[in-house]
Amino acid sequence: MTIDSLDSPAVGLRPDRRAKRQSLSDQVAESITDKLIADGLKAGDKLPTEPELAEYYGVSRSVIREAGRILTERGLVDIRPGRGMTVADFDGAAISRQFGLVLDMQHGTFRQLMEMRLVMEVGMTEYAALRHTAEDMALIRTALAAFGANQGQNETLQADIDFHAAVAAASHNPFFVHLVNPVNDYLRKAYDESRGYVAAQSQTYAEHAKIADAIESRDPTLAAAAAREHLQRVLDASEDLITKSAVSS
């Protein structure tokens, strides 16, 4: 699939005040973004080729390449040799990288990231209790069972991440999903080979089970309390849970 009406007169670069402060490649990137949204393109849909876009916008191919780089950094498109530019599947990877940079550059601490997680996931769990479907509950229970199956640490950590991701999905709010998943990606690195994480697994399982039961009972107050209890404990123990080489706290 390509951007609609590519052979029609070019929409041109937007002649607004913001355009005066933007580079030509930034303006092209903004225009392509507008077209993606207007045409309702989905992940995997193919965009026009570099020469086609250059002709459409009346710019050089180097400008199109730079615009493509900008869109790639924003997580909007994926560019691969032989395949060209396609709409990316938004998985939160760019947000995860930003979290990592904030921590690595010491603009924030791991504890502060956990504070944000606590505030966000307590409310998210309330909505999961109110909105979950039978399919959502099945995914939550599957992740819980996998976490308690006495597997290796990698598998257990993945089950932990899957549990929180399933609760986010059960909220039926895409903003929760796109924020929780990047945090989970960072936690995957932070908890890798952490003895503190391993030591707390039985307690984590019990807390997850309490959260799952409250969600299933459709009691948002109880679900929020269970989530707060779990995440406050994780916050209080954050220095013992993380791998020192992974993050600076």
pLDDT digits (tens, 9 = 90+) for 189-207: 777 666 677 788 899 999 9
- Ordered DSSP codes for 149-190: S---HHHHHHHHHHHHHHHHHHTT-HHHHHHHHHHHHHHHHH
Global pTM value? 0.70
Q: Which of 34-43, 98-107, 151-160, 235-244 has the lowest mean pLDDT?
A: 98-107
Cα radius of gyration (the chain)? 22
- The predicted pLDDT at position 204 comes to 93
Higher-pLDDT residue of 137 and 94 is 137
Record: fold of 93-241:
Four Helix Bundle (Hemerythrin (Met), subunit A) (1.20.120)
- Locate the domains of the chain by residue range: 17-87, 93-241
Choice between 26 and 100, residue whose per-residue pLDDT is larger: 26
- The candidate with the shortest Cα–Cα distance to 180, out of 124, 132, 133, 231, is 124
pLDDT of residue 46: 92
Model pLDDT, residue 11 = 44
Q: Which of 34-38, 157-161, 222-226, 239-243 has maximum average pLDDT? A: 222-226
Under the banding of pLDDT at 50, 70 and 90, the label for residue 88 is confident
- Topology of domain 17-87 in CATH is Arc Repressor Mutant, subunit A (1.10.10)
* Cα 126 to Cα 228: distance, rounded to the nearest angstrom: 11
